[in-house]
Amino acid sequence: MIPVCLLVELPRGEAYRLDIDPPVSVFHTDDGEVFAIDDTCTHQDASLADGWLEGCEVECPLHASKFDLRTGAVDAPPAKRPVRTHEVFVVDGMIYVQPSTEAPNLPPCIAARLAGEPA
Amino acid sequence: MTSTSLPDSLITTLPGSAYTDPEIFAQEQERIFEAMWFCAVRSSDLARPGAFRTVEVGRESILITRARDNSIRAFFNVCRHRGAKLCTEETGEVKRAFQCPYHAWTYDLTGKLVAAPNLTKMPDVGRSEYGLVGVATREWLGYVWVCLAENPPPFDEVVQDVVARLGDTESIERYDIDNLEVGKRIVYDVKANWKLIVENFMECYHCATIHPELTEVLPEFADGYAAQYYVGHGAEFGAEVKGFTVDGSEGLDRIPGVTEEQDRRYYAITVRPQVFINLVPDHVIFHRMYPVAADRTIVECDWLYLKHVVESGKDVSRSVELFDLVNRQDFDACERCQPAMSSRLYAKGGVLVPSEHHIGEFHDFVQERLGTGSSQ
């Protein structure tokens, strides 16, 4: 489990970008729920933490594909594949993320870099 | 001085080239429109956060919008990445950000760079430092004024043009222009130099000849002395005239702050470099000029009425028709002059008669800004 930040440090409607590899973003929704997904849009290297949070969805700031924070599912192109979701725990006011063990769906250049190829 | 001395009644205008030379126009763009406060848009045109307008100010395209906190923001309409024009529409509304259509650099309504492809791999790229570059803004009389200068002059320069005409600021405040509503807007594309339009607006020597309807409403205009010749003088409506309308028929509801002294009078103000304001008891006519070339000027004219007059759908057409007619008569005259500005005959310019001598102050202003000294 990876500690993220104190819940009180993450206001509702905002996101925290966890700088691990690949990065994960943690969202605190307007309804008070906390979700974690891969930070990188599956279409192009854009940070979803910089995107627009609405309800349980985040819209990629670059090309407007929306991802469901609960399932990682994408609504419409240009992104076609879902993002990974990660388990979140809040213990004594501290947010923790349990990274998924599934393979991530990263955009081509990042996937190549993670595989050790030149980006 | 000109080689032949003029009779005392006459003073010279600017030379013909001042109205045709693209280089002089470029200097005016730089030293007047990009240096002074420029009246850009009606604040109510940016009704909600994300509503925007793009306007040409001098040689620059400026993007004006309203941020989430309802504050007005104005930026150079240029992407910081590779210089693409960010917004190509003249007007519109974005939900939350401006995105460059070239590489998708994305800026929020305060101009901050919020996203770009691979931006997280460039943590050294400051999001404010590489945000949109702002220009100074000020709201006055319900309009957004912008100034592109690095060190804007005091806004009081603008206000002082009103004081010079009316004698004080209270006189214009009584019309409550901030809270009036646009009842009609007409945009004119005038094939004439902007200075011909200013000069025309400043004098009334032409009124009896080209404005028969206006002169019916304001009989003293037949004397040729514009309201702008005096300080604090409003031209009085004719005795039979009921309102400031094309046929002298009844106008709309009088603006409550207008005093008895101001009632049944017409006031006209030139706010340099590109605004004309006309005050009558029931409405305000507000012109903004956008000079686009030495021989072309866009004029956007708003007819402003009390909110309830516009909202109740009252017929404002007869009051709109009067000044629309005046505008078209004036712009026709300016367009008639423009071709002759490059005539050999007009190389040294023309002359101003006594009722036009105050236009000489406008010429001095232009030449001072351009650093070209007194005429000839």
Domain range list for chain B: 38-147, 159-370
| Crossing angle (nearest 10°) for helices B194-202 and B359-370 | 150
Alpha carbons B327 and B128: distance in angstroms, whole number: 44
Alpha carbons B158 and B36: distance in angstroms, whole number: 9
pLDDT value for A119: 46
CATH superfamily of B159-370: Naphthalene 1,2-dioxygenase Alpha Subunit; Chain A, domain 1 (3.90.380.10)
CATH number of B38-147: 2.102.10.10
Question: First CA to last CA across chain B, in angstroms?
Answer: 6
Rounded to 5 degrees, φ, ψ at A49 are -65, -25
Distance from CA of B64 to the nearest CA of A (A): 21
The rounded radius of gyration (Å) of the Cα atoms in chain A is: 14
Mean pLDDT over residues A67-80, rounded? 94
pLDDT value for B158: 96
Structure token digits, residue B306: 């009390």
Alpha carbons B113 and B93: distance in angstroms, whole number: 18
The enclosing H or E element of B196 equals helix B194-202
CB atoms within 10 A of CB B55: 23
pLDDT value for A109: 74
Per the listing, tokens 């109205």 go with: B19
Q: Are the beta carbons of A46 and A40 closer than 8 angstroms?
A: yes
Nearest beta carbon to residue A46 from set B96, B97, B115:
B115
Nearest beta carbon to residue A61 from set B97, B118, B121:
B97
Fold observed for domain A2-114: Rieske Iron-sulfur Protein (2.102.10)
Residues 6 or more apart whose Cβ sits within 8 Å of residue B253? B282, B306, B308, B309
Task: Label the pairing between strands A66-68 and B60-66.
Answer: unpaired
Per the listing, tokens 């395209």 go with: B61
- The count of CB pairs under 8 A between chains A and B is 32
Tens digits of pLDDT across chain B (376 residues):
445 689 999 999 999 999 999 999 999 999 999 999 999 999 999 999 999 999 999 999 999 999 999 999 999 999 999 999 999 999 999 999 999 999 999 999 999 999 999 998 899 999 999 999 999 999 999 999 999 999 999 999 999 999 999 999 999 999 999 999 999 999 999 999 999 999 999 999 999 999 999 999 999 988 877 666 678 889 999 999 999 999 999 999 999 999 999 999 999 999 999 999 999 999 999 999 999 999 999 999 999 999 999 999 999 999 999 999 999 999 999 999 999 999 999 999 999 999 899 999 999 999 999 998 654 4
Rounded to 5 degrees, φ, ψ at B361 are -65, -35
- Substitution target from A21, A50, A109 for chain B, most B beta carbons within 10 A: A50
Alpha carbons A113 and B366: distance in angstroms, whole number: 61
What type of residue sits at position B63?
L
Distance from CA of A62 to the nearest CA of B (A): 6
Q: What interface predicted TM-score (ipTM) does this complex get? A: 0.80
What part of A 15-34 touches B (C-beta under 8 Å)?
A: 17, 23
Distance from CA of B82 to the nearest CA of A (A): 17
Nearest beta carbon to residue B119 from set A47, A51, A63:
A47
Decide if A64 touches B, using CB distance below 8 A. Answer: no
Decide if B342 touches A, using CB distance below 8 A. Answer: no
What's the pLDDT tens digit per position in A35-70? 999 999 999 999 999 999 999 999 999 999 999 999
Nearest beta carbon to residue A61 from set B114, B118, B121:
B114
pLDDT value for B230: 76
Distance from CA of B40 to the nearest CA of A (A): 30
Contacts of A40 in chain B (CB under 8 A): 120
What type of residue sits at position B334?
C
- Substitution target from A17, A47, A54, A58 for chain B, most B beta carbons within 10 A: A47
Alpha carbons A41 and A59: distance in angstroms, whole number: 10
Distance from CA of B150 to the nearest CA of A (A): 31
Decide if A62 touches B, using CB distance below 8 A. Answer: yes
| Crossing angle (nearest 10°) for helices B317-337 and B194-202 | 120
pLDDT value at A116 more than 90: no
